[in-house]
Amino acid sequence: MISVATAVAAPDIAVAQPAAPEASASADAAKRADALVQKAGRLYSDGQYQDAEALLLMAWELNPTFDVAYNLGNTKYQLKKYKEAAQYLSFALRHWPLLKGVAKLRPRAEQWLAESRAQVGALKVSVTVAGAEVLVDGKNVGRAPLEGEVFVDPGEHRVEAMHLDYEPSSQTVSVAKGGTAEVKLAITPVRSEAQATGVKTEGGGSATGAGGLGPVAGPPAVPMEPQPLPPEKRNWVPVIALGAASAVGLGVGIGMTVASNNASGDAHTQSAAIIQAGAQCVRPEPSWVGPCEKVRSDASSADTLGNVARVAFIGAGVLAIGAAAYALWPKSKRTESIVALPVVHSDGAGFAVTGAW
């Protein structure tokens, strides 16, 4: 193995380095990754490819740059793990720097990639919406648009595209050994609940179902004679009820925000501790499986709690507006019928305020 970690630290290829949240943390991670690459090089020279592979995976977790990918792809190639070798070598070649010191290594990387590709299949995946999550056989391989090809074992594979605001799409393809299959996935926006069910709207209109088949049939409307407004004083009960519900929603939002921040902080602290201990969560050792699962669980909880907090704040705002509108609207142009109901559907949750003011 030829280590090129020192060359990667040169300022003129800084563009190839992935962005990090903090410059100091990035510099420290790069330094630790360089040390791991140097140690892996010695193991590789002694023919200890599996031990070298483990150290290089840790270096990739800390600093995923072209030199780590080059050495990792080389090691995977020696271990006859051609699918993974092709993935890392293709990354290295896409990010290869214009430096004389490493130019002589490129033909070797291209040869290893060609030999690895001949043993596996490749998928070229495109999705109509950027940011959609792409899965191959249920495994997340990145977000659209994917930077390069996805290398797979020869045979049949299921490719999916998923996005929160769009209907998922999938396709099953077969790829031969040494072959390439092109997958194009088109995802469409999620229809609203009214569009999906054809619910009749207020004012005589209607929402049609899929295909524009017209309004949903229902019992005929019974005309009602207009009723005069009672002369009694303004009823403040709806204002009080809406205001109280708004305050509850605000409290729930604040509580969920605090809980989300705590879960996110726990995940960050645990992740930092794992990296500090020299471990990684891409393919963790058995002793680190539990801590890595805890990190993922805390991160997922933080995201869920954050979404609940946003819904609560939105609901509190809607209820507060409803209370103000009811209180300020001229009495002669309103009725006393106002209803606030929770709404839960496939896109999320919230509150619906109905009535005539």
- pLDDT tens digit sequence for 233-245: 667 677 788 788 8
* Confidence check: pLDDT of 188 > 50: yes
Residue 183 within any structural domain of the chain: yes
Angle between helix 237-276 and 289-328 (nearest 10): 160
Does residue 208 form part of some domain?
Answer: no
Residues 92 and 28 in one domain: yes
Cα 64 to Cα 147: distance, rounded to the nearest angstrom: 14
Identify the domain boundary among 98, 118, 138. Answer: 118
Interacting residues of 24 by C-beta distance below 8 A, sequence separation 6+: none
Q: CA 186 from chain center: how many Å?
A: 18
> Are 9 and 96 found together in one domain?
yes
337 has a pLDDT exceeding 90: no
pLDDT at 170: 95
For the cut 80, the answer to whether the pLDDT of residue 85 exceeds it is yes
Under the banding of pLDDT at 50, 70 and 90, the label for residue 208 is very low
Identify the burial level of 4 via C-beta atoms within 10 angstroms of its C-beta, where 0-12 means exposed, 13-18 middle and 19 or more buried.
buried
CATH number of the domain enclosing 161? 2.60.40.1120
Number of domains in the chain: 3
Query: Both 321 and 245 in a single domain?
Result: yes
Using alpha carbons only, give the angle 207, 213, 215 rounded to the nearest 5 degrees: 40
Is the CB of residue 334 less than 8 Å from the CB of residue 302?
Answer: no
Taking only the tens place, the pLDDT of each residue in 263-313 is 788 877 877 787 777 776 777 777 767 888 887 888 888 788 888 878 878
Pairing of strands 338-345, 348-355: antiparallel
Residue 205 confidence class, pLDDT cut points 50, 70, 90:
very low
Report the pLDDT averaged over residues 42-49.
94
CA dist., res. 209 & res. 199, Å (int): 8
- Is residue 103 located within the same domain as residue 147? no
100 and 129 assigned to the same domain:
no
Flag whether pLDDT at 346 surpasses 50. Answer: no
**CATH code of the domain containing 113:** 1.25.40.10
Last residue of a domain, one of 96, 118, 140: 118
- Token pair, residue 202, equals 């207020």
Assigned domain for 333 exists: yes
Instruction: Please tell me the predicted confidence (pLDDT) of residue 64.
Output: 92
Same domain, 271 and 309: yes
If we measure between CA atoms, which residue out of 109, 98, 104 comes closest to residue 75? Answer: 109
* Tokens standing for residue 236: 């403040």
Q: Which of 12-16, 289-293, 347-351 bottoms out in mean pLDDT, i.e. has the lowest?
A: 12-16
Q: Are residues 149 and 159 in the same domain?
A: yes
Higher-confidence residue of 81 and 194: namely 81
Strand 121-127 to 180-185 pairing? parallel
Residue 102 in tokens:
């490493």
Percent of the chain predicted with pLDDT > 90: 41
Please tell me the predicted confidence (pLDDT) of residue 127: 95
Q: For residue 206, is it within any domain?
A: no
Q: How far apart are CA 240 and CA 224, in angstroms?
A: 30
**339: DSSP letter:** E
User: By the 8 A CB rule, do 93 and 110 touch?
Assistant: yes
- CA dist 17 → 8, 13, 60, 97, 155 (Å): 9, 8, 12, 11, 35
Please identify which residue in the block is written with the tokens 């998923």.
162
Do 247 and 324 sit in the same domain of this protein?
yes
Q: Per-residue pLDDT tens for 111-132?
A: 999 999 999 999 999 999 999 9
223 part of a folded domain: no
CA distance 263 to 267: 6
Strands 139-143 and 133-136: antiparallel
Find the mean pLDDT for residues 20-47. 81
| Residue 348 within a domain | yes
User: What range defines the domain where residue 288 resides?
Assistant: 231-355
Q: Report, as an integer, the average pLDDT of 180-199.
A: 79
pLDDT at 283: 72
Same domain, 252 and 314: yes
State whether 150 and 50 are in the same domain.
no
> Looking at residues 319-340, what average pLDDT do you find?
64
- pLDDT at position 173 is 95
CB-based contact 169:185 (threshold 8 Å): yes
Using the predicted structure, report yes or no on whether residue 190 has a pLDDT greater than 80.
yes
What pLDDT was estimated at residue 11?
27
Q: Is it the case that residue 14 has pLDDT exceeding 70?
A: no
pLDDT at 50: 94
Q: Which of 118, 141, 173 is where one domain is finished?
A: 118
Three-class DSSP category at 328: helix
d(CA 134, CA 143): 6
Residue recorded with tokens 């740059």 = 65
Quick check: is 55 in a domain?
yes
Question: How sure is the predictor about 213, in pLDDT bands with cuts at 50, 70 and 90?
Answer: very low
Report if residue 252 sits inside a domain: yes
- 157 shares a domain with 96: no
Based on the fold, state whether residues 2 and 108 are members of the same structural domain: yes
d(CA 222, CA 212) in angstroms, rounded, equals 26
Classify residue 189 by its DSSP letter. Answer: B
